[in-house]
Amino acid sequence: METSLRDRRVLVTGADGFIGSHLVQALMAEGCKVKAFVYYNSFNSWGWLDTLSGEEKKQLEVISGDIRDPNGVRAALADTELVFHLAALIAIPFSYHSPDTYIDTNVKGTLNVIQAAKDLKIKRVLVTSTSEVYGTAKFVPITEDHPKQPQSPYSASKIGADSIADSFYRSFDLPVTIVRPFNTYGPRQSARAVIPTIITQLLSGVEQIKLGDITPTRDLLFVKDTCNAFIEIARSEKLIGHEVNIATQSEISVGDLAQELIKQINPNAKIVTDQIRLRPSKSEVFRLFGSNQKLKAATSWEVKFSLQQGLKETVEWFRIPENLKRYKSDIYNL
């Protein structure tokens, strides 16, 4: 059964981030009444929501807070029907450095959301997971039944968050779905991700692109396709109580990806290995190639952007000077 989202009262946590800001726009386009939960800071920055048009901002209710604070989270969820929980720490290298913060933000933050959702009788909760919970593929395409392998503190924290969410479905019949995007990319992506790392170095004019291991493969998903999948999942009652992948069911190596971007931007550039960018060998996830069959069986979702189309749109966004200047291409981002 599919339901309309028009006029639904919706909360997006992590709305100031990469996927969250795109999802806010997609939900507003669907006719939702959107509340955006952003990370409180003394600059009154709304993250990427600051780049939205004036007309879009007028449609939004923005709430500043901290996902680790249960009282602030509960206040944000009040008078809401549908919650998209995206707030999280996501950088894998920084999780080696500060694992405590990942447990506090990703596990406790998720508990705060679902506990409030239970008490407030929220009609639907989508908790955002990650393909990193699977670790290096034991079989492909990776289905939702694939074993979980915590190959980094980040991955472990997301496995914990998923387990807490699943337990509330089983224990309290909370209408939750665990949404598991594979490797989403596009405009506004974090500087620590591989595609912005490659593009910003190339656009800076350097002849040597510094990367870590270029042999791992990834299932790359353009951000608009990811957001469309979130919306289709929210429409489908069939996926309550389920984990569901968002994937293109394809893979490309980091090296081949880099060569495609080199071809588009600066054909003279070469790749060099930067030791500081290498993950510990037992922590590197060498293959991600997801199955999207469960998602497609339950919804009308289809991949709309080829890799070439998505990369072209992403590169064009980074070519805009005011966008590129937000990134420090000469610094390795943990």
pLDDT tens digits, one per residue of 40-81: 999 999 999 999 999 999 999 999 999 999 999 999 999 999
Q: Please name which of 90, 5, 25, 46 lies closest in space to residue 223, comparing C-alpha atoms.
A: 25
Q: 292 - beta bridge partners?
A: none
What is the pLDDT at residue 117?
Answer: 98
Helix (H, G, I), strand (E, B) or coil at 53: coil
Residue range 9-185+221-250+289-305 forms a domain whose CATH class is alpha beta
pTM for the model stands at: 0.97
Helix (H, G, I), strand (E, B) or coil at 14: coil
Give the chain's end-to-end CA distance (angstroms, integer): 43
What is the pLDDT at residue 332?
Answer: 84
What is the pLDDT at residue 4?
Answer: 87
Domain ranges of the chain: 9-185+221-250+289-305
Long-range pairs for 256-264 at CB < 8 Å and ≥24 separation? 257/194, 257/195, 257/198, 257/218, 257/220, 258/198, 258/209, 258/211, 258/214, 260/307, 260/308, 260/311, 261/195, 261/198, 261/199, 261/202, 261/311, 261/315, 262/198, 262/202, 262/209, 264/311, 264/312, 264/315
What is the pLDDT at residue 1?
Answer: 59
What is the pLDDT at residue 192?
Answer: 87
Average pLDDT, the chain: 97
Given a cut of 70, the residues of the chain with pLDDT beneath it are 1
